Amino acid sequence: MSVVARAQRVSKVVAPMASKALGVSSARSFTGTAPAQNKVTVVGAAGGIGQPMSLLMKLGGKIDHLSLFDIVNTPGVAADISHCNSKGKVTGHKGAEEMATALDGADVVVIPAGVPRKPGMTRDDLFNTNASIVKGIAEQCAKSCPKACFLIISNPVNSTVPIFADVLKANGVYNPQKLMGVTTLDVCRAKTFVAENQGMDVDKVDVTVIGGHAGTTIMPLLSQVEGAKFSEEDIKALTHRIQFGGDEVVQAKDGAGSATLSMAHAGAYFADKVLDGLNGVEGVKECTFVDCDLTDAPFFASPCTLGKDGVSKIHGFSGLSTFEQALVDDNVSALVKMAQKGSDFVKNN
């Protein structure tokens, strides 16, 4: 049963209850058949993204131990989620003193920790607060689970991933194959918006999204969507909507939050695919923000094969349209600056 079907069945039972708020993709279902044999830690598990994402990951049935960490409230979240009748134990840990226990021996660490965006804020506006949070998490990860795969959701991803990398380097435990910025929500939005525009089945639409995870650094390759016929106006409008889809949610929530539920879905989906790769499932290919030399930017998102050691192959991109090539040319320098901003933060703090 897919995670969507599970969620629909659960929703019929718990509908009266209210809960506190979260390319290239494989066609495999979310729940798969690989046996549960992994410890996954969610850092920021009591937040708007962390709670629904942790629920989806528990329902996935692939995780032997789901370890939830946040500054407050995590034991309650863990107790709640642990009552779901799917495989895997759930533990909750709170406060800085319990972070090491939460992380110890983790195979995958998913990090949605940090403050959300508010109306009028860019992802870069979050930098000062979230940079400190991510740096502290990276320092503890370097000690407690240096061989884990680290999936970074905390914004601004274009800077927080370089922060995480530099902290791991400083501790002598950096493995570029195991550090990934989660750009999956950009792919989810691209598939959804393209399917709506073209009248396609969203489950059969593949859209590669390269670049970064902020504004115009998000670059969907619409010219490569099989079977699609876009006008120039469609391409411009869809590209802009994919790039600034997060703003739609921030504005629609009228100051009450950012994209939490859709990000929870995207984060759980990507973590699931990383687990597939670690567990030996072949042909798992997803877009993610990684350390690479595809451009002058030290980190860049492109399709990657996920394997037993994390990212096993970076596929890159080719055959761009004139419009898409212009996006790359215009935004690589911005990605370089954002990465440098992250590195400078680590150096100076």
User: How many domains, the chain?
Assistant: 2
Question: How far apart are alpha carbons 211 and 294 in whole angstroms?
Answer: 10
Q: Any idea which residues carry the catalytic annotation?
A: 213
How crowded is residue 334: how many other Cβ atoms within 10 Å of its Cβ? 17
CB 38 within 8 A of CB 64: yes
Last-in-domain residue among 128, 148, 182: 182
| 250, two tokens | 């921030």
Please state whether beta strands 299-307 and 285-291 pair in parallel, antiparallel, or not at all (unpaired): antiparallel
Last-in-domain residue among 164, 182, 200: 182
CA distances from 77 to 128, 133, 211, 242, 260 (A): 28, 21, 34, 32, 16
| 205, two tokens | 């639409």
* In a shared domain, residues 135 and 62: yes
CATH number reported for the structural domain that contains residue 225 in this entry: 3.90.110.10
* In a shared domain, residues 88 and 200: no
Q: Is 197 annotated as a binding residue?
A: no
| 332, two tokens | 């690589």
| Burial 287-324, CB ≥16 within 10 A → b, else e | bbbbbbebbebbbbbbbbbbbeebbeebeebeebeeeb
Q: Is 312 annotated as a binding residue?
A: no
Q: Is 45 annotated as a binding residue?
A: yes
User: Which amino acid would we find at residue 34?
Assistant: A
Q: Write out the residue range of the structural domain in which residue 171 sits.
A: 39-182
* In a shared domain, residues 228 and 282: yes
* In a shared domain, residues 274 and 231: yes
Sequence-distant (6+) residues with CB within 8 A of 16 are none
* In a shared domain, residues 66 and 84: yes
Q: Is 154 annotated as a binding residue?
A: yes
* In a shared domain, residues 308 and 251: yes
Cis omega (within 30 of 0) for bond into 156: yes
CB 170 within 8 A of CB 155: no
| 235, two tokens | 């391409």
3-class DSSP state of 320: coil
* In a shared domain, residues 328 and 282: yes
* In a shared domain, residues 193 and 311: yes
Q: Is 46 annotated as a binding residue?
A: yes
* In a shared domain, residues 152 and 221: no
Q: What is the pTM of this model?
A: 0.88
Question: pLDDT tens track of the chain, all 349 residues?
Answer: 443 344 444 333 333 333 333 333 333 334 444 444 699 999 999 999 999 999 999 999 999 999 999 999 999 999 999 999 999 999 999 999 999 999 999 999 999 999 876 777 776 778 988 999 999 999 999 999 999 999 999 999 999 999 999 999 999 999 999 999 999 999 999 999 999 999 999 999 999 999 999 999 999 999 999 999 999 999 999 999 999 999 999 999 997 889 999 999 999 999 999 999 999 999 999 999 999 999 999 999 999 999 999 999 999 999 999 999 999 999 999 999 999 999 999 999 9
* In a shared domain, residues 83 and 197: no
